[in-house]
Chain A
Amino acid sequence: MHDILEKSGFNPDANYKVVGTSPIKHDGYDKVTGRAKFSADAFAPGMLVGKVLRSPHPHAIVKSIDTSKAEKLPGVKAVITREDFPEKKAGTGAGDMTRIAMAREKVYWEGHPVAAVAATSERIAKKALKLIEVDYEVLPFVIDEVEAMQPGAPILHDYLRTKGATGADADKPTNIVERSVLKQGDIEKGFAEADVVIERSFDSKPMHQGYIELQSCIANTSDDGQVDLWCCTQAPWVYRDRLTAIMDIDSSKIKIQQSELGGGFGGKTTFYIEPLAVALSRKAKAAVKMTMTRAEVLKGTGPVSGTHAKIKIGAKKDGTIVAAQSELSFQTGPYTGSAFVNAQQAIWTRYDIANVETLCYEVVSNRPKVASFRAPCVPQIIFGAEAVITELAQAIGMDELDFRLKNAVAKGHTTIYGQKFDEIGLIETIEAAKNCDHYKSPVPEGQGRGIACGFWFNRGGETTGTMSLAPDGTVNIILGTADVAGSRMSMAMMAAEEFGIPVDRVRATLADTNALGFNRVTAGSRTTFSSGMVVVNNARQIIGELCSRAAKMWKVPEEGVIFEDGFCRPASSNVGDFEPMSMKEISSKTTYTMGAISAHSEMNVTGAGPGFAVHIVDTEVDKETGFVAVKRYTIVEDAGKMISPIQVEGQLQGAAVQAIGWALNEEYIYGADGRLQNAGFLDYRMPVASDVPMIDTVIVEVPNPKHPYGLRGVGEVPLTPGPAAIGNAIANAIGVRPTSLPMSPPKLLALMKSAKA
């Protein structure tokens, strides 16, 4: 079936009617009027309320759990603990997943679930939680990953041995999950050639995705074991398969329907309360609704890794970067899964550097298990990488963008991880940045300007979908990927373009897990690209079928029919004198042809085009308080070809807002007791509207030749250089380099003081 796509890749000469316009999203009306159904908006007959008992300790042995008093409380219908989940071996995938959902031998962070209750009201459920008696043996804990790497640090897992360790380190208890080196060339030789060498250390704190919609779900487990689960998720099929893995339920008996998603940003690629709700529902024999509080979300769900980075980089006077060496450590929470490899690969992807060595450590500690977040692990590492790139340019005396241009990768470059780049738009993006109004205008008095360049791989992967034609000639699309940011509309637009009909004649909806085959997680900036391939393939199958049906009705050979702008027409006058036949005419007569017209596609999509972006930021720093005002922000990015420009802009602007939060104020603050102190939006300081300037975008279009509409993912690239650009802007404003995220007022004030001293 891929033939249909392979025959026609991106057509640079096509004139689009729908693609490239910005119609109002079909899911937009209900979202702005409040009628859209998000996860917490659902209810089920007889539904109970589920609440979780969480560990107050960052590290402790769970000696015993006595639920008898809670069970006796009137209104309590079920209490679950570790006993309600099958044993899965610690240190395996399923073993880790089940222990994250519900603690077994030990609790590993403050907020780790130890029990859950389903009751007839929230008040009763909360009261029942207080009646559960847990006997803990409190253990020493470690929060920071650098401390966790030290000899003598409290060990989380006795069984853990460092993957990639050699010699004596290979067989001793440790918190280091993995030691990994990625290198090319000869690093010593490279530095020997350098005229200028910069060496610095950087650190970052974990960053939460900050989605507004709290996780909420309703699980309804029937008496014969069928599970119906409604929840907000970026990964329905992954949730299903993980439920199978940890609860031994056949996947065929689990149906997951995703709700409207009120923000995910990677954070809803992994489940938390959902297996608890399923277990409670099974035990209570009733539907159970669970909704997390914001404090539970901040304490119980994963942010992205906090990191430390030592970076050394060298260049020749002519601006050629000759060597880059780094040692990076990544927090992963109590279990592996930080996706540090993204950072290891992406730290220098923008530049052609002959000699590179990147050593990474992934480290467990007593904080929530990390989760995916927009280009996981990359922005916090690019924060340091682009700082030293800027410093090198300044040391050599080159314009920062010219310096980046001189070292920029282009088509044909093979990356350190073995990917050979096809058409990429880095050079075009840097040139567009040089020519944009922001870069050309002088830096206002008292401000500092920062530049940084970012990258994201963009992904493909397993994707399925169907499409059907209604008798009135309108088109329905069923998607397997989640709609995290408006992809239903982009799909409708691509389908409308294929058929040559108005986009209002097309609607896309989201499938449950029984409706389609497996879909990979909606992440990696893969959705519009991958599901777009499926949609175009389905549309072209249907067009072929329409021609075939018209041929049957006209009694002519199939080759004698062509499809144009919503109509089947005779290919030439030789075929016969037939009036063009509309989609409606054909579709309304399927009773007389071969039945309904529909198509499905199952693909393992490849060919995602990498994305690059340059951010330009002006900041003003209050020298007496360290307060940073972001005055101007411009994102220049290659989007391949835009399906919906307004949605592309929205992605870029949203990323800039998250970058501002990460750069300036968002951080996890732990007390000496190992407990999170700022588990709420009052003190976990995400930016508010007035913290953010208007964000300008300059969108470059270097089409991805592997996609019929030339598009590249745009979800993650625009976050990657953000904190770095803001850091460079602050450094230029105050004349001293901040190296620690967030660059909060107390830190900047101390930094300015130390520079004066």
Chain B
Amino acid sequence: MPDLRFEAPGSLADAVKLLVAAEGPARVLAGGTDVVVQMEMDMIEPALLVDIKRIPDMGRIVQEEGGFRIGAAASGMEICEHEALCAAWPGIIDGVKLIGSVQVKGRATITGNLCNASPGADSVPPMVTAGALAHVVGPNGERDVPVEQIPTSPGKTSLGKGELIESFKLPARPKNSGDAYMRFTPRTEMDIAVVGVAVNLTLDEAGVCTAARVALGAVAPTVLLVPECADALIGTKVDDAALAKLAAAASAACQPIDDKRGTKEFRIEGTGVLARRVAQKAYERARANA
């Protein structure tokens, strides 16, 4: 068991340098609500922890090009308490609010939620439907990556050695758009999604859906962005027929497993049920956002 080295660099460049030079497993530490817990449970044994919270601006939430820029170290509670962000992206807030408790969210970040690469992460499906881009910094420069391309399988990401997420970009919001996220858990909170669904819609003035993105959580190795679900909604007023088509498409897209958190059968059926409910909620929000 190697001794653990803890570093809290003051610049992004130093953070990258530390990660590149790491011998043995290295982890980026933001809130630590996954990393520290996993260390305590002997699931991981990192040789290096790089705390990014002391890097200037890593905790920022600012408006940018009509959208938002969220720094990698912004905590869940800072996100939930940002009024403009809450108004523009209520579906993302739905997801963030479901992460742990208020205390956990006081530390936890959506960056960690994404990089932990659990298919059940609550903030990920609405970030995917929002079309969020992760700004990745590493030894070979910088790049923007759609968030759905970050996790590759449970516990694994597409980030290379020395790479870390610096921030997220949320796009500008057209009029008449709305998003929502819901999950199913046997308990009301402090639980892990058995099924999660996010829907992001844009409507025309008549209430007809012109654009849609639908993402499913906890029903496949990674969060799924499902075009067939979007197709079921586009061109409709999200009526019963469209919702039935959406539910069928969502259930059909699931590739779940049986595990301690739920059965395959339950997940497939639950995804359809939830997709309907979430689409209705997103539609209501879009209508209210004229």
Contact = CB atoms under 8 A, between A and B. Distances in A.
Contact of A123 (B1, B259, B263): B1
A625 B184 contact: yes
Contacts of B223: none
Interface string B261-290: 111011001100100000000000000000
Contacts of A744: 186
B187 A688 contact: yes
A736 interface: no
B206 interface: no
A714 B114 CA distance: 48
A516 B4 CA distance: 48
Interface residues of B, number: 22
Given A126-B42, A625-B270, A625-B273, A669 B189 contact: no
Contact of B188 (A130, A683, A688, A749): A688
Contacts, number: 52
Given A123-B1, A690-B188, A745-B186, A295 B260 contact: no
Interface in A736-757: 744-746, 749-750
Given A127-B1, A295-B41, A691-B188, A683 B261 contact: yes
> Is the contact region of chain A dominated by helix, strand, or loop, or is it mixed?
loop
Contacts of A680: 41
Given A123-B1, A126-B1, A624-B273, A746 B187 contact: no
Interface in B173-215: 184, 186-192
A678 interface: yes
Nearest to B263: A746
Interface string A666-702: 0001000000011010110101101100000000000
Interface residues of A, number: 28
Contacts of B184: 625, 627, 745
Nearest to B258: A746
Nearest to A684: B260
A745 B186 CA distance: 7
Contacts of B42: 126
B188 A682 contact: no
A669 B259 CA distance: 9
A345 interface: no
Contacts of B187: 665, 685, 687-688, 691
Contacts of A293: 40-41
Could you say which of B40, B184, B186, B266 has the most chain A C-beta atoms within 10 Å of its C-beta? B186
Given A123-B1, A690-B188, A749 B260 contact: no
B186 A664 contact: yes
Nearest to A665: B186
B255 to A, nearest CB: 18
Nearest to A676: B260
A687 B185 CA distance: 12
A127 B42 CA distance: 11
14 contacts: A123-B1, A127-B1, A625-B184, A626-B266, A627-B186, A665-B186, A665-B187, A678-B260, A688-B188, A690-B189, A691-B188, A746-B265, A749-B266, A750-B265
Given A627-B186, A685-B191, A688-B189, 13 more contacts: A123-B1, A130-B1, A625-B273, A626-B266, A683-B192, A685-B186, A687-B187, A688-B191, A691-B188, A745-B184, A746-B265, A749-B266, A749-B269
Q: Which 5 A-B pairs have the closest CB atoms?
A: A690-B188, A746-B266, A677-B260, A624-B273, A669-B260
